[in-house]
Chain A
Amino acid sequence: MKRRGRGIACMWYPIGFTVAANPSAAVVKVNEDGTATLLTGTVETGQGSLTVLAQIVAQELGIATDDVHVVSADTDTTPMDTGAIASRTTYVTGNAARLAAEKAKLILFEVAAPLLGVKPSQLEVSDHKVHVQGFPQRSIHIGDVSEHARGVNGQPPIGSASFNPATVALDPETGQGKPFATYVYATQIAEVDVDDETGEVDVLRIVASHDCGTPINPMLVEGQVEGGISMGVGFALEEEILFTPDGRQINPNLTNYIMPTSLDMPKIEVDIVDSYDPTGPFGAKGVGEPTCVSTAAAILNAIHDAVGVRVTQLPATAERVYAAIKAKRAQEAKLITAG
């Protein structure tokens, strides 16, 4: 008989390396037509980080995402970056990109200030224009400022910057210190059906509430959460590398190493927690790794809720779940007999 259960699991996860320096550098060039180019040494590995970086640069310069072209991942042309690891790109590379864009923007302000008859500190950008704070009509198009900067002032608006998260080394005896600059938090709740005659688990629904600071691109956050959950489902129920007694893998292929397919995926509902981190670019933290952290725990708690057994070894395959159900029944029968 199929039994329904629900399970909750929450988690915390840090952004960036543990204590060790993990800097990123970036270069931003504002073109003469008001578009911009970002140079970054990070790598697009499918998560959409280059789009997030473009949005950060665009926001700092008051232009649109599509106005920013990102050049990435070439050691000859792009600046140093610690890379696509440790959920650090939005926070660390994002901060570097924002700072580089800010430096280019300050050049634009110096050029525009005398044209608008104010001090550079009285200027701001929005909607493709450099304008006087509080007087949006007193403005010049950012492309015209950039062209003036190059052609008249001889000072092309190019900014470069680097960023490294602030950490404090851990005491070797007690482990006390500040290993990370910031952390994110999340909760996932799973609903499952467990067949108590076969041990088979069907994950029906997962509700995920994730903190990433400001979501620079909510669609990409949702994509990360959905992908993380698929990895979590495999970790919880199916995936396992098995070894022969002499240490060779038994199942190094996708026929015998079972992963969830799209047909195995539960209904996923994603919420982004309202949050702002003042140390991140526009309040952003990160989202990559944390999305797969609490899924297995939530599913295992739901199995426990459904059939009353605690599976303490992953993956909770049908065999393992059924063995636990059988052991529980035997235990209960023994208690009845004893009573």
Chain B
Amino acid sequence: MDTKKAVKDAPVTTLAATEELLRAPAAAPLVPLPLEVLVPEARQQTPAVRQRAQRPDCRLHGLGQTKYIDDMYLPGMLYAKIKRAGVASARIISIDTREAEAMPGVVAVVTGKDVPCNTFGPSLKDQPVLADSRVFHAGDGVAAVAAITEQIAADAIEKIKVEYEILKPVLDPLESLKLETPGLHAPNPNIYGRKIIKKGDVEKGFAESDHIFEGSYRTQMVEHVPLEPHSSLATWDANGRVTIYSTLGRITLGRADVARTLAMPMSRVRIIATIVGGNFGGKNEITTEPVVALLAKKTGRPVKCTFTRPEEFISSTTRHPLIMDYKTGVTSQGKILARKIRLVLDGGAYCSWSETTLGKACILSAGPYNIDNLLAEAYVVYTNKTMTGAMRGFGAPQVCFAYESHMDDMAKALKIDPLEMRLRNVLEEGSLSPTSQKLHSVVIRESLLQAAERFGWNGNGAQA
């Protein structure tokens, strides 16, 4: 790479140039590469399936040779930072970028008005690339700067002045559930997704039960916290084709979203996913990609943007907090006859992957049990909190916490060992799921018994 030329082209101070010089070689540490690599035996054996084969990338990780986007540098590359709203709900009156643009080292500034199609989302297209008229949560981006160093870009976003009309945020999902008009996220209704699963006759099941148990459970908002934050790097060629290196875990749909937001044909967008340092569901949709593409187009230079750790928390998706109400009817022997469930998902500021989370949480909420009479209802509502989206388990860890806490409470009241209580109710080969799907390769009983044996779970687990 021609670092010297890149620095010469940069219209700036010596200090900044030094910083860039220091930065470029650091991206490619010189390590003697092994020419004769010893291939582990497990990788050489046939048949290949069931082998404990090592990953070819583990050598690179071990030698520190894996190239993440933060390790990449292209000649003349600029660094982007995104200005965050810092208010949870507001109308944007004006955005004044003049002072930032006048700063030495700042090459370009963009706002939502520069985004050709400023909406995206995996189901509802309710999310802007950069908020242009309305802020729905404090982590919304409102403007972005490209500068010759990361520090100058960070200083420049502080100089951008945004005038807001502050609105009262709604933070409690139960309050959002009750609100009629005006919509929290007009024109979409506050309850932007609902799901219902009805099987058998739940009231009849309760009538036939010896005991009825009820429980309410709540879970919190958590972050994926991947080791590598979201990052992307865009570079255009002279034919007007853009290449984006990205931490996305889903490039096919990422390309569709980038092409849509930039109003470009897909054939002129290339997405290359680098080795990703952890995803856990948080890197399933575009974040910085259209922003760096626009800044790179405006400046004619490659542009990179990497989230800071706070941005990772406030501006990427998080896990849906759930409010879960359970009511279960059982026989004295611990057989579940009927179950009624209500789930309220805090959907945050944008839909993102809420539809999927809603569906999976609702279907899985009955637990891995045979329940003939079931009624599960689930709602997802907007709030002015950080957007919730895909996260490892899509609602399953939340409902599992509820149905398994509930199970133990019932076992204790009925004086049945918790393991035994589960064995009396679990799904079997050919069981019908809550959606009446006939299940195959069902091994929940085997799993319970295997874990119990390994743990040394001796009966009498029913505590008085």
Q: Is the CB of B222 within 8 A of A64?
A: no
Q: Is the CB of B441 within 8 A of A179?
A: no
Q: Is the CB of B441 within 8 A of A43?
A: no
- A residues contacting B by CB (< 8 A) are 6-14, 17-19, 41, 43-46, 48, 50-51, 54-56, 58-59, 62-66, 72-76, 80-86, 126-128, 168, 170, 173-180, 182-183, 185-189, 191, 207-211, 213-220, 228, 231-232, 234-235, 239-241, 243, 245-249, 251-254, 257, 259, 269, 271, 273-279, 282, 285, 288-290, 292-298, 300-301, 304-305, 308, 310, 312-315
Could you tell me the distance between the alpha carbons of A63 and B46 in the complex, rounded to whole angstroms?
6
Please give 14 more A-B residue pairs, beta carbons under 8 A apart, in addition to A75-B272, A296-B400.
Answer: A8-B422, A43-B249, A66-B43, A66-B44, A126-B46, A175-B435, A179-B359, A183-B442, A210-B447, A211-B446, A217-B52, A218-B52, A275-B441, A300-B401
Closest to B56 in A: A51
Question: Given contacts A6-B457, A175-B196, is CB(A282)–CB(B49) below 8 Å?
Answer: yes
Could you tell me the distance between the alpha carbons of A276 and B442 in the complex, rounded to whole angstroms?
10
Closest to A168 in B: B437
With a CB–CB cut-off of 8 A, which chain B residues contact A269? 454
A-B interface pairs (CB < 8 A), number: 385
With a CB–CB cut-off of 8 A, which chain B residues contact A289? 392-394, 396
**Size class of B's contact patch?**
35 or more
Could you tell me the distance between the alpha carbons of A240 and B409 in the complex, rounded to whole angstroms?
25
Q: Which of B47, B139, B278 has the most CB of A within 10 A?
A: B47
Looking at the complex, which one of A248, A276, A314 makes contact with B86 (CB distance below 8 Å)?
A248
Looking at the complex, which one of B57, B359, B437, B447 makes contact with A211 (CB distance below 8 Å)?
B447
Question: Given contacts A177-B437, A296-B397, A301-B418, is CB(A217)–CB(B250) below 8 Å?
Answer: no
Question: Given contacts A46-B278, A219-B52, is CB(A175)–CB(B198) below 8 Å?
Answer: yes
With a CB–CB cut-off of 8 A, which chain A residues contact B435? 170, 175-179
Give the shortest distance, in Å, between B288 (CB) and chain A (any CB). 16
Q: Which residues, 213 to 233 on B, are CB-close (under 8 Å) to A?
A: 215-223, 225
With a CB–CB cut-off of 8 A, which chain B residues contact A290? 393, 396
**6 pairs of A and B residues whose beta carbons are closest in the complex:** A247-B88, A83-B250, A252-B313, A58-B48, A175-B197, A297-B404
Give the shortest distance, in Å, between A187 (CB) and chain B (any CB). 4
With a CB–CB cut-off of 8 A, which chain B residues contact A63? 46, 48
With a CB–CB cut-off of 8 A, which chain A residues contact B419? 8
Q: Is the CB of B250 within 8 A of A185?
A: no
Could you tell me the distance between the alpha carbons of A174 and B433 in the complex, rounded to whole angstroms?
13
With a CB–CB cut-off of 8 A, which chain A residues contact B188? none
With a CB–CB cut-off of 8 A, which chain A residues contact B283? 45
Residue B281 is within 8 A (CB to CB) of chain A in the complex? yes
Give the shortest distance, in Å, between B219 (CB) and chain A (any CB). 5
With a CB–CB cut-off of 8 A, which chain A residues contact B216? 312
- B residues contacting A by CB (< 8 A) are 39, 42-57, 86-89, 137-139, 169, 171, 195-199, 215-223, 225, 248-253, 255, 269-281, 283-284, 309-310, 312-314, 318-319, 356, 359-360, 362-364, 367-368, 376, 384-386, 390, 392-394, 396-397, 400-401, 403-405, 408-409, 418-419, 422, 426-427, 433-437, 439-444, 446-448, 450-452, 454-455, 457, 461, 463
Q: Is the CB of A297 within 8 A of B400?
A: yes
Q: Is the CB of B384 within 8 A of A271?
A: no
With a CB–CB cut-off of 8 A, which chain B residues contact A178? 435, 437
Looking at the complex, which one of A55, A218, A274, A310 makes contact with B409 (CB distance below 8 Å)?
A310
Q: Is the CB of A217 within 8 A of B197?
A: no
7 A-B pairs within 8 Å (CB atoms) are namely A8-B448, A45-B276, A65-B51, A84-B276, A174-B197, A252-B314, A288-B392
Q: Is the CB of B253 within 8 A of A83?
A: yes
With a CB–CB cut-off of 8 A, which chain A residues contact B48? 54-56, 58-59, 63-65
Could you tell me the distance between the alpha carbons of A276 and B396 in the complex, rounded to whole angstroms?
23
